[in-house]
Copies of this chain bind each other. A is one copy, B any other.
């Protein structure tokens, strides 16, 4: 018998986006969940201890890219989603590799539970947050510890080394994060703290967004409550010193998932940024309908709008640019409107 399970997600959608005069029409990968292929397994070591591994790669199902692609296309920067080897037992889990930060699991408190159409992802991502369900919460060179379940409470801590080979600034770019999740019946609450150590001249731009000479600090509180007829979710987070202006920006969102039939659900979310910089309080909302064709196959259709402020240019499908005096510049204060219809298959 094999020691490996091959698994993944194949997800593609037709999308149309418009932002001022800029338009996008095309087929993209990963509207409901990022397309991926993974290999995982575990081995019983006795006494309740297990050796475990996961090797999981992003794929661009719409593109000419390989397993763990390196494309220059905007949506192909995630190559390895997660890669680790670890031990699992009564003590919890400890792993080494490229692993999810606690910040990744905010999708539990998000009615639009995946990038790139979640208001939380769009707005917090634009603030340089590492507490988003995307690549910014994937940590290379990391040690991860997850606690066992203490009556509904679980803890999750990670430390990622930026591996700067220098006498000084050894921690420059290192990411440290800790999360706590509590689940009890219909209620779920999550707390996350995340920081990236910064130091002039040693910013790891590839791994972590950041500002020279400041440690980026972030905190997040999320909650979900299942009323049966519908599920209510929301979150509030603050990102300190995440941008070059050293702003302290806040992002909040509230949403709901409403089952409308045995197989259909409506997903709604509204989010907003409260930024230090003037005219940067953008908002976004998203309305999706998901239709389960089976346990593993799901069709979806939706609309996402980003309402930019006078100084923001956040977008999803179409990039908002304009030509001024012959130079292409960001076109602020324009809405990003995005329609999508797609198919998601888990295997």
Chain A interfacial positions (CB closer than 8 Å to B): 2-8, 10-14, 21-29, 35, 37, 39, 41, 43-46, 49, 51-53, 55, 57, 59-70, 78-80, 83-87, 96-98, 135, 138, 140-143, 161-163, 165-167, 170, 207, 293-294, 296-297, 318-319, 342-345, 347
Contacts and interface: CB of A to CB of B under 8 A. Distances in A.
Nearest to A27: B141
Nearest to A28: B141
Contacts of A37: 39, 55
Task: Name the residue in A21, A64, A68 with the highest tally of chain B Cβ atoms < 10 Å from its Cβ.
Answer: A64
B65 A27 contact: no
A183 to B, nearest CB: 28
Nearest to A160: B27
15 contacts: A2-B6, A8-B55, A12-B97, A22-B167, A23-B170, A45-B293, A51-B345, A55-B59, A61-B98, A62-B83, A62-B97, A66-B66, A66-B69, A66-B79, A86-B343
Contacts of A87: 343
A234 to B, nearest CB: 31
Contacts of A70: 66, 70
